[in-house]
Every structure is written in C-alpha cells, then in structure tokens.
A = this chain, B = another copy of it.
Amino acid sequence: MLKKIDPSRYTLTKKEYKTQIDTLETKFEELQRKIIDLQIPVIIAFEGWSASGKGACISKIVYPLDPRCFNVYTMGKIPEDVAMRPFLWNYWQKIPSKGRMTIFDKSWHRASLPEQQSKRPLTTDETNGFYYDINAFERQLSDDGVLIIKFFLHISKNEQRRRFDELLENPDTKWRVDRRDINQNKNYETHLKYFDDMIRGSDFDFSRWSIIESDDLNYAAVKIYNIIINKIEEKIRGDNYKSRERPSGQNELNKLNQTEKSVTRVKLSEVNPDKNIAQAEYKERLAHYQKKLSELGYKLYTKRRPVVIVYEGWDAAGKGGNIKRLTQRLDPRSYEVIPVAAPSKEELAHHYLWRFWKAVPKDGHFGIFDRSWYGRVLVERVENLCSETEWRRAYREINDMEKHLYNHGAIIFKFWLHIDQNEQLRRFQNRETDPLKQYKITEEDWRNREKWEAYEKAAGEMLFLTGTNYSPWTVIESNNKKYARIKTLKILVETLEERLK
C-alpha cells in the first residue's frame, strides 16, 4: 500500500490552500453541531511516521470546533500501570460518549510495531491475536454507532530527514528528536514494511485507513478535512457500514455455534441444585481452600497474572456470601470486588462494555464482578432494555472481550449460582421476615421471579454461547450455600494450581 505512494508528488500552492481551507472550516463547524444534535460519537485516529505532522494536522482540524465537545489524547509512551492491563484497556477509557469527538495522536494500532514490544517480537499466533483484538474493538464500537476515521500520515525519507535536521538545529526544539526517530529514518525501508503490515492488518470494512501524503502539510490538511467531512456526511445520511450492516440475529447465532468451540454444554433445567455438605467437612475444607487460595494469590502476584471472576445467578442465590468466603483470606490489597448495578446516565452514553473495561484488574490482581457484562444478555434482554439485534450481537462481543483478556494473560472464571424456584421462594420469605435481611428484598425481586422461565431461557443460551475454552462457565449448585462455596473455591484453587504450574 504505502510503497506505491510517493508522498512528495502531492502539493498545493498557498493560494489554493487558503481558498479551500476557509470553506472546509465553516463546513466542519456546522457538522460538529449536527454531531451533537444526532448524538454521534466520533473517533479520529492519527498514525504515521515520526515528524509527519500529526500534531500540526490535529491543530488544524480542531481549529473551528467548540473546544468543549472534543478531547485530544497523546498516546505515545505507555505508563507502567497501563502496561499492566490489556493494551486496549487504555483506549476503552477514552472512547467518546454520544455526541463527542475523541482525537488520538497515535493509536492502538502501533502496538503491532516491533519497537513497541518491550521484550521480544510477537509470534505469528500473537500477531493474529493482536489483529483479532483490534478488529473486535473497532467492530464493537462501529456496531454501537461510533464513527471511526483513521489516518496514516506518510512522508518520504528525504522529507523526514529534512524535518529532523530543522528540529535539531533549533535549541528550543532539539529535545523533540530522539535516537529512535533517527533510527527510523536510517532504516526507513524496514519501517515502511512494518507500517505496511500494520495498515494491511487493520484495514476493516467498518474502519478503513486513509493514507495522507504529508510532505506538503497544506495538502495533507485539505485532504484530511475532506475525508472527515465526507465520512461524517455519509454517517449522517446513514450511508455507511453501520447502517448497511443488518445481521439477522439468528444467522449470527448459527455462525457462532459453528465456529466457536464451546466447552460448556450444560442445560440448566437438567441441573439439580440440591447438593449437600456436612458442617464438619465444610469447616475443614473451607479453611483448607482459603489457605491455598491465599498462597496462590502471592504466586499470581509474582507471576503478574491477572484473574477475572464473574458471578452471575438467580436472585438470592448467595453471591454475596460466596464472594466473601472467596476473598476472606486473600491479601486485601490484591483484589477488588465490583458490584454491578443499573448503569448511570454517563455509562448509558457509552458502549455498554465501557464501564466494565474500566474495572479490568491489573496484572497480579483479582477483579471479582458481582454481576457483570452478562447483564446485556440477561436482564437487558428479558426486560427489553436493548434491541434484539443488540443482545444477539453481544454474545460475540463478549466472547471477543474475554478473548482479549485471555490473550493478555488473564485467567477467567465464570460462575452461575444455581438454585431452584422453591429454594428462592424460601429465601425471599425469609428475607421478608428477618429485619436484618429486609433490605435485601425488593418489589423488583418478586417481579423478576415471575419471569423465571424467560430468565432460564436467556441463561441457558448464555451458558451455551459464551462458554468457551478460554473462558468457561461453571454452574454451582447452590441450594446449599456451604456446598456452593466449597465448590467455587475448589474450582478456583485447582484451576489456578494447574495454570500456574
């Protein structure tokens, strides 16, 4: 791609530039107002050679905009706490809410470049995993209505050299050129290949790259402006990827069934939640597994592996007590429990996965979710809080998100705490009569209970479609809370021992 383009051929006279830019500025200012009206989130990502003028181009395009409605982020260096999470985590924090614009000076794509990999070059598998992850990321956002515009600023070897020299001559700008920049220029051909691979690997239907010949910055600015304006107008007309793409929900499901190797094939209705454990055995095994888990916690910390634990299940299935037994002997600095309630207004203005990404644990730590992103295919599905297309799409999105966590090294556990209807009734009634527990029971719990069958269906499909080998579900028989706690701990301990060997 890049190789065929000679960036030095494209130029504009000052006068040509000036007449064009005034019109474009006015146009873009108008469009920003429409973006706000229509609540369209926009991401503009700038990639390119060192000294290709990313900063200057960003300055030009934000000039006509209302500065209260966009954010610009420079993403070069990776701080230590960012490196301790999946590489897309930092970008998820920064996606725009509806009607806002986020501009990235350097982007997630560069994680594929050899210079960004601290330790060693990626293996083929890792490279494939990497492109899979960014494909999923960009698709998820596009499907949610985000307009993604990607620019690669391309300059020739001579022009780059010229710009470095200019910067180096001036004592005020000298610091902006470092050894890596010089190296890029010296090995221009090698880096051209890297960039080419990066662009080829991440040029998707829903987020195509635009190559900007930037030897002449005026030419570049005009081309960038035109592309942004076209893409926004296309989006407003509904004439783009998102609007064209209307996957039949059922197709999506079938496709998934064929391609994903699910390991959990449990039918909830066939699970008997009535398993027991004697009190003496409970006490002894609880102490045993808690001690083991605490030791494994230190091992995880030294090996820098993060653990993600998801709790889902029926109301009153005993999630709280189960989580408490899990954390009780862990180092309290090593875990966080994330209680998940209905989304806030701000959370609703973002992709539904946004709020969960914020809580992803860093390396060496446990993130324990008391309810989770599975709300999308459970309560949001049953209560019609999202469209059918949306919750059907979610199976794939969730699998992709968990795969990204897995690719980063996370060990994932998902527990469905299972009780039967009679047991739930007993617990509800008990909560109503016990003054210490009354706060735990609300009208909503009774309403949910009436929809038992709808939830059972949703849970069944969820277990089936999102039980993968990298992120399996375990159904925990929970009519007896003590049995449930021991089973959960046992699975955690045995799996971690296996995986940390």
**Distance, CA A370 to CA B327, complexed state (A):** 43
Interface pair A336/B80, CB less than 8 Å apart:
no
* A455 in the interface (beta carbon within 8 A): no
The complex places the Cα of A33 from the Cα of B439 at a distance, in Å, of 10
Q: Which residues of B contact A320 (CB under 8 A)?
A: 66, 68
Which of B67, B74, B172, B344 meets A346, CB within 8 Å? B344
CB–CB B68/A333 < 8 A: no
Name the interface residues of A52-68: CB closer than 8 Å to any CB of B: 55, 58-59, 62-63, 66-68
Instruction: Decide yes or no whether A337 CB sits under 8 A from chain B.
Output: yes
What's the least CB distance linking A74 to chain B, in Å?
Answer: 5
Q: Is A245 an interface residue (CB 8 A)?
A: no
Shortest Cβ gap from A337 to chain B (Å): 4
Q: Which residues of B contact A345 (CB under 8 A)?
A: 344-345
> With A331-B59, A332-B62 in contact, do A67 and B324 touch (Cβ < 8 Å)?
yes
Given known contacts A105-B333, A332-B58, is B344 in contact with A68 (CB within 8 Å)?
no
- Closest-by-CB residue of B relative to A175 is B302
What residue of chain B has the Cβ atom nearest to residue A334's Cβ? Answer: B72
Cα A370 to Cα B69 in complex, Å, equals 12
Cβ < 8 Å to B, chain A residues 70-125 = 71-74, 79-81, 103, 105
Residues from chain B with a CB closer than 8 A to the CB of A439 are 37
Collect the chain B residues with CB atoms within 8 Å of residue A370's CB.
Answer: 68
> Counting CB contacts under 8 A, is A187 at the interface?
no
Contact A67 B327 (CB under 8 A): yes
Set of chain B residues within 8 Å of A335, measured between Cβ atoms:
67
Residue of B nearest to A321 (CB): B66
**B344/A72 in contact, CB under 8 A:** no
Q: Kindly state the separation between the CA atoms of A339 and B99 in the bound complex, as whole angstroms.
A: 14
CB-defined contacts of A346 to chain B, threshold 8 Å: 344
Minimum C-beta distance from A293 to chain B (A): 13
Distance to closest chain B CB from A206 (angstroms):
26
Asked if B59 contacts A332 (CB within 8 A), the reply is yes
Q: Is A136 in the interface zone, CB < 8 Å from B?
A: no
- With A and B bound together, what is the CA distance between A46 and B501 in angstroms? 35
State whether the Cβ of A368 lies closer than 8 Å to any Cβ in chain B.
yes
* Interchain CB contact under 8 A, A68 and B339: yes
Question: Does A192 lie at the interface of the complex (its beta carbon under 8 Å from any beta carbon of B)?
Answer: no
- Whole-angstrom distance from the CB of A455 to the nearest CB of chain B? 22
Q: Does A323 contact B (CB under 8 A)?
A: yes
For residue A380, give the distance in angstroms from its CB to the closest CB of chain B: 20
Residue A328, interface by CB 8 Å: yes
Asked if B68 contacts A323 (CB within 8 A), the reply is: yes
| CA of A361 to CA of B68, assembled, Å | 15
Which residue of chain B is the closest to A326 with respect to CB atoms?
B67
- Min CB–CB distance A1 → chain B (angstroms): 28
- Name the B residues within 8 Å of A105 (CB-CB): 333
Contacts of A72 in B (CB 8 A): 332-333
The 9 closest A-B pairs by CB, nearest first: A72-B332, A67-B337, A67-B327, A68-B339, A62-B332, A68-B337, A74-B333, A72-B333, A58-B332
Q: List 13 A-B contacts (CB under 8 A).
A: A58-B332, A59-B332, A63-B328, A67-B324, A67-B337, A68-B320, A68-B323, A68-B339, A72-B333, A74-B333, A79-B80, A79-B81, A103-B332
Q: Which residues of A contact B (CB under 8 A)?
A: 33, 37, 55, 58-59, 62-63, 66-68, 71-74, 79-81, 103, 105, 172, 298, 320, 323-324, 327-329, 331-333, 335-337, 339, 344-346, 368, 370, 436, 439
Q: A58-B332, A68-B320, A68-B323 are in contact. List 4 more A-B contacts (CB 8 A).
A: A67-B335, A80-B80, A103-B332, A172-B298
